[in-house]
Structure 1
Amino acid sequence: MAFPSLGSLFRPSQIFAVRGGVHPEPRKHLTAEAEVLDMPVPPLVRVPLQQHSGAMAEPLVRRDDIVLKGQLIGQARGAMSANIHAPSSGRVIAVGHFTAPHPSNLPIPTITIRTDGQDRWGPRLPRLRPEDADPDEIAAQIERAGIVGLGGAAFPAAVKLNQRRKYALDTLLLNGAECEPYLTCDDRLMREHAEGLVDGAGIMARALGVSRIVIAVEANKPEAIAALRRFRHALGIALTVAVVPTQYPMGSAKHLVLAVTGKETPARARTAELGVLVYNVGTAHAVHLAVRYGEPLISRIVTVSGRAITRPANVRVLIGTPVADVIAFCGGLAEAADRVLLGGPMMGLPIQNLRVPVVKGTCGILALSAAETRASAQMPCIRCGSCVQACPCGLTPFEMNARIHAGDLEGAVKVGLMDCIACGACAFACPSSIPLVQAFDHAKGKLAETQSRRHQQEETRRLAAARQAREAAIAEAKRQAMARRKVEMAARKVAQTGAAAADPPPAPSAQAAP
């Protein structure tokens, strides 16, 4: 489906209304004024081989191998994957399974490194001069560096960059909305590293071949807006800072594009089809470090917050650092945490094991006290429509939930289940405290399981049919071969009989005469 270019439609000073959304208490004051601290190298790092969308990386090291900081230890596999690098120098003590930073607590392949405290760099990636490099060189460098989207989705950045080959792009939109409560890591990045961030944006824009860069920031970040507005261009490409309303989920890519451009992305379509590619501001800064300095993605800024944290802070953490170590660096727990989340309170992942590591997509570690968590008892749906008003996708969550609980998953799909972005706005607005998002995630999981089972059944039938076809072809070939042999044998018999009839009878022997 083709869409008109946004070149003549975009107005940098105009912000368009976005439907739905909610306004949770920001609670950003806990860390908004906390400058980014560099956490020391932990004694142990656990680096999962699956920190991105797509295929798991292939391990390149074995137990007892000595590795250096920045060394490639996990090789991307296939078209959708990402490289994994050693966060620090040390010895590999295990290449096996360890608990994933996920509510399932299931183990995933992980490389465990006991650091040596020296933090010795190995050979860095070759530096590029982006002003002279062609788009393919820049994309290859981003791929080598293992950069993924740092907003949470962890989509391989180079794969996304290559959409330039499929779509006519004209705008690079950097997402600096950071609409989740508590989180301020992007805010601090924009304040403290605006120049590098803008340079990374220019590098990506050159690779994409777009004519404009827009950085969208929520209105509650005036210092970040001021820092970014010092720049009018990035590598010669026009740059604009768009101030968007403070509203959740403004950070959703499709809704951010709608707010900035006024163009709505159809269901199941991509923003690239509108000519806009969206990246997180943290991703742009990672690109700057990779291209200018040859540094792979081995660390990130994480907001550590919540009333249960002794000293809430923004911390630059090495990938693979255990969550427990990060909390300890911030003074530990001031009180028992009622819930610990990786990410924000709206879409973050609850964890039980604090030994799980920080990964590339970890933007926050929240230790929430009992006073900060909603403990309201669930009540029956009163069909008030609050969830409908809050839904940014224009769906009817109460109806989807009713169909799911009735076992009608296909009916839930018909009313928009697969268009749900799981932002949690509906559950936040629900006066009956119904866990709507959990129901939708469960239903999507059941559908995926059903589709997988159906695919397996279809594949089994296909393989069985192919086997039957092969066996039938073999049997037919045998029958034809047998028929040919019979014909040949009959022909030989006829030929032998004819030859015997044509030969004269032997002459009588002389000894046989009387």
Structure 2
Amino acid sequence: MIALLCSRWKTARGYGNGNQPMIKQWQFPGGVVMEGHKQVTGISESTLPSELIYPLLQRSDNYAQPIVEPGSRVLKGQIIATPQSPLATPIHAASSGIVKEIEPRIIAHPSGLADNCIIIETDGLDEANPVFPCLDYKLETPEALRNKAAQAGIVGLGGAAFPTAVKLKSNKPIHTLIINGAECEPYISCDASLMQAYAQEIVQGALIMQHILQASCCIIALENRLPIAQQTIQEAARQADIQIATVPAIYPTGGEKQLIAVLTGIKIPAHSLPGDFGLVCQNVGTAYAVYQAICLGIPLTERIITVTGKGVNQAKNIRAKIGTPIKHLIEQCGGYSPDVQRLIMGGSMMGVALSSDDISVIKATNCLVAMTTSELANNQSAMPCIRCGDCASVCPAELLPQQLYWHSRSKQYEQCQDFQLFDCIECGCCDVVCPSHIPLVQSFRAAKGELVIKQKQAAQAKLAKMRYQNQQQRRVKEAQEKQAKAEKRLAAIEKMKAAAAKRKKLI
């Protein structure tokens, strides 16, 4: 089917009115049309902060191990922490300076708690490590290019921060690479700005990843309300065998499985991966980072971040060094407006509310939204559920949020699992349409957390039981061995006595 899809893409390169590709597309279940609140600005350069902060927690429970000590000097691009699991990546210093401390700092996490971070006091020199660019990626093996991407610390820059090298290695043949520029979540415009400014580099990064995957088809998808970005990407891809698609600005079209459904008509089951169907999806920012790592030898130390919302005086898309304190970027945007109420990392739908702007930018930071009272006006008090069913009609995962809510509210977490709680992508569509203003996603996140805790406790209890049973088995075995030795010794003594008695009788 994938080969058929690629053939269909390649034979449908004609353009209709407005240079829109005349290509068949499909629809995914649910979704909502939302006001964009987007300001696609040019990319501003951030000034160098006085210190850079690098959390050692990469994603979930995956940590990096520091390989520098307080007092040591580091250079831009130098590895300062190495991954402790395949799902973590190296951390590189984004500028030269002195390692000030390795200590707990507040990190970008829903818990709002502190964790160990490497603190670098910048020296203003921005002195960099030597780089070793690849002159022709086509002469490199896919494995060598994957290793370079891994050493460059590249992760998915759409927000998930999954290691790119892991995603570029599949046990099954990959037919189609999709470059995701469908930035459908409100407020976020960093990818659109990147496509407008660095279209040629994005296309080159896409070709490199296509070479790594040995994929026969490559598609770059972006929203249909971004004419300038579409034009620049089309111009850049004119000489390359890459297809350009514009997709409707329906949230969450930018989700990996939703975008695949729109472009191919293939529905990826909840517990399957796109790679199982011969598909790999990467963000446009990731494609740009791959270009920099392979063609320029530059590791991932910077990224484009949207700083927006009515809570800042001037919305911008900023090229920021990873590790930059958020308050430094807010200053670059003219500071907060007087009625700012909330600061969110990520978009308004799936982002995390921050307790402080001392928190640093991480690889997953694609947007900072400073929201005012007027933007939060719709956050009314929750009222009883009226069972309207609107939440189910917009759920892109085809779940029953109403049932999940009742079971989570009653702490019936096993029933939540029966209703596929962990298939929820936490997109927030149900929250948007709920007439009772019930924080559904908040309930689902809490239920997931409780289930994870229970699963860990069950695993610990199972381990403890297994250890106890092993201990009992060892004790029984030791007792049996001890008894066998005693019986053997007793038999030997009896034998000796019998022999002595026999000799005595002969005498």
* Contact 2:307-2:367 at 8 Å conserved across structures: yes
Q: What are the residue-to-residue correspondences of 1:399-414 with 2, within 5 Å?
A: 399-414=403-418
Write the deviation string for residues 112-160 of structure 1: whole angstroms up to 9, x where unpaired: 0000000000233563631100010011000100111101111011111
- CA distance in 1 between counterparts of 2:417 and 2:37 reads 35
1:47 counterpart residue number: 54
Greater shift, 266-275 or 293-302, is seen at 266-275
- CA distance in 2 between counterparts of 1:471 and 1:151 reads 55
1:20 counterpart residue number: 30
Deviation at 1:452, TM superposition (A): 0.6
Q: What are the residue-to-residue correspondences of 1:13-412 with 2, within 5 Å?
A: 13-28=23-38, 31-32=39-40, 34-52=41-59, 55-125=62-132, 127=134, 129-163=136-170, 166-232=171-237, 238-373=241-376, 374-412=378-416
Q: Which amino acid aligns with 2:116?
A: P
Q: Which amino acid aligns with 1:463?
A: R
- CA distance in 1 between counterparts of 2:120 and 2:135 reads 30
- CA distance in 1 between counterparts of 2:154 and 2:365 reads 14
- CA distance in 2 between counterparts of 1:159 and 1:268 reads 18
2:13 counterpart residue number: none
- CA distance in 1 between counterparts of 2:158 and 2:60 reads 13
- CA distance in 1 between counterparts of 2:103 and 2:66 reads 10
Q: Is 1:7 matched up with 2:32?
A: no
1:472 counterpart residue number: 476
Unaligned runs of 5+ in 2: 10-22
Q: Which has the larger radius of gyration?
A: 1
- CA distance in 1 between counterparts of 2:258 and 2:385 reads 28
Cα distance change, pair 470–69 in 1 and its aligned pair in 2 (3 A): same
- CA distance in 1 between counterparts of 2:5 and 2:47 reads 48
Deviation at 1:54, TM superposition (A): 5.6
Greater shift, 471-480 or 64-73, is seen at 471-480
* Contact 1:54-1:81 at 8 Å conserved across structures: no
- CA distance in 2 between counterparts of 1:324 and 1:386 reads 39
Deviation at 1:409, TM superposition (A): 1.5
The percent identity for this pair of structures is 36
Return the match for 2:455 from 429, 451, 462.
451
2:431 counterpart residue number: 427
Deviation at 1:499, TM superposition (A): 2.0
Q: Which amino acid aligns with 1:476?
A: Q
- CA distance in 2 between counterparts of 1:369 and 1:80 reads 37
- CA distance in 1 between counterparts of 2:156 and 2:243 reads 21
TM-score by length of 1: 0.94
CA RMSD of aligned residues (A): 1.3
- CA distance in 1 between counterparts of 2:243 and 2:162 reads 25
- CA distance in 2 between counterparts of 1:129 and 1:343 reads 36
* Aligned residue-pair number: 492
- CA distance in 2 between counterparts of 1:449 and 1:256 reads 32
- CA distance in 2 between counterparts of 1:125 and 1:354 reads 36
- CA distance in 2 between counterparts of 1:15 and 1:339 reads 38
- CA distance in 2 between counterparts of 1:161 and 1:252 reads 18
* Contact 1:53-1:155 at 8 Å conserved across structures: no
Return the match for 2:488 from 481, 484, 493.
484
Deviation at 1:51, TM superposition (A): 2.9
- CA distance in 2 between counterparts of 1:51 and 1:37 reads 27
Write the deviation string for residues 417-460 of structure 1: whole angstroms up to 9, x where unpaired: 12111000000111110000000000011110111100100010
Deviation at 1:377, TM superposition (A): 2.1
Greater shift, 132-141 or 486-495, is seen at 486-495
Deviation at 1:77, TM superposition (A): 1.5
Q: Which amino acid aligns with 1:265?
A: I
Q: Which amino acid aligns with 1:198?
A: V
Cα distance change, pair 53–210 in 1 and its aligned pair in 2 (3 A): farther
Q: Which amino acid aligns with 1:414?
A: D
* Contact 1:231-1:239 at 8 Å conserved across structures: no
